[in-house]
Amino acid sequence: MLSELDQILQKALQELETAKDESSLESWRIAHLGRSASLMLLFDQLGKINKEERPVVGRRANEVKQTLEAAFTKRIESLRQSTLQRSLQTERLDVTLPGRSLPLGRLHPATISMRAVIRAFGDMGFQVYRSPEAETDDYNFGLLNMPPHHPARDMWDTFYTSMPNVSLRPHTSPGQIHVMRQYATEPIRAILPGVCYRYEQISTRKETQFNQLEVLAVGKNITLADLKGTVSDFARRLLGQNIRTRFRASHFPFTEPSAEYDFECLLCQGKGCSVCAYTGWLEIGGCGMVHPIVLQNGGYDPGKFSGFAAGLGTERIMMLKHRIEDIRNFWANDMRFLEQF
């Protein structure tokens, strides 16, 4: 029986050498260590041999079994190692190679500028009011104290639509009438942001579409001092505590008195440079006290109420801040420009 055990061991070890993959190793395990393997059958026969031989044969059978199990484990380990090595060779991964970066979206510079302006006025208690981009002639001009054939209409080169009496808004001022008519006779502190359209000769300073923001305050005892304080505070909130502002007399049909307001040049701090044409000041927008006729058209009694309005182009603020020399960049969709913000 001992020699039979040796044969089993020799045969099994030889066959193990030829097993080249996991499935043939598994077949080997079933053949030599499984229930019906000759080694296992031999264990069953131990009871039949005589008492003197039994411990010797039993011990040897156990040794053979352990040897085969150890050989099997070793073989399967080395097979797994070589499989791993092979896949490392063939599917080589260069971990030092930089990954593909995902392009990160960002806000459009026109949006960045608009939000900064809205935030500054929001902090002062003004609320955003949205009004339509296409308006009737009345809202665009008539109710703003510019009846048909009024010469002041020439200041706004308007896009007319195929619908009679409807044009794209050339300024955000029609929103003044909307907000007043909705809230009369409550006090108003509103900002009216949005895109305006003008039939312009496109140049580095003029585009056919641009963002404007209108400021409107209506209430009792509102004076020019409130307008000046609000504009100055806005400048400080947007551009820092030390910025200076100034008013210059002007004319608009829907405000009386009217003014243009300037900020001290952001680039030269008032010393004078090419951007401010060596004046030290930058023109920002127009403003004034709401004209009594406009107040009346909005539903407010000009005898009891007063108000101020101001407007500015938000792209212009961005142009001044970042020294952008061509307004056409805003809508040209050139990534080289847009990625700088």
Binding site for Zn ion (CB under 5 A): 265, 267-268, 273, 276
Nearer to Zn ion, 121 or 281 (CB): 281
**Closest distance between Zn ion and the C-beta of residue 277, in Å?**
8
Residue 136 CB neighbour total at 10 angstroms = 16
Nearer to Zn ion, 110 or 268 (CB): 268
Structure tokens at 26: 């598994």
Instruction: State which amino acid sits at residue 268.
Output: C
Structure tokens at 159: 């896009």
Instruction: Decide: residue 168, CB within 10 A, 0-12 exposed, 13-18 middle, 19+ buried.
Output: buried
- Distance (Å, whole) CA 163 – CA 141: 17
Using CB positions, name the residue nearest to Zn ion.
Answer: 265
Cβ proximity of 57 and 2 under 8 Å: yes
Residues 6+ apart with CB under 8 A from 298: 143, 176, 177, 179, 180, 181, 184, 218
In sequence order, what E strands does the chain have?
127-128, 134-136, 166-168, 188-197, 209-219, 245-252, 255-264, 281-290, 306-313
Nearer to Zn ion, 118 or 267 (CB): 267
Structure tokens at 127: 């609320």
Nearer to Zn ion, 143 or 235 (CB): 235
**Closest distance between Zn ion and the C-beta of residue 310, in Å?**
22
Structure tokens at 169: 């808004």
**Closest distance between Zn ion and the C-beta of residue 137, in Å?**
40
Nearer to Zn ion, 276 or 290 (CB): 276
**Closest distance between Zn ion and the C-beta of residue 133, in Å?**
34
**Closest distance between Zn ion and the C-beta of residue 320, in Å?**
9
Q: Please give the distance of CA 26 from its chain centroid, rounded to a whole number.
A: 57
**Closest distance between Zn ion and the C-beta of residue 227, in Å?**
25
Structure tokens at 7: 């044969």
Nearer to Zn ion, 276 or 318 (CB): 276
Nearer to Zn ion, 37 or 276 (CB): 276
**Closest distance between Zn ion and the C-beta of residue 311, in Å?**
23
Structure tokens at 11: 């045969």
- Distance (Å, whole) CA 121 – CA 230: 9
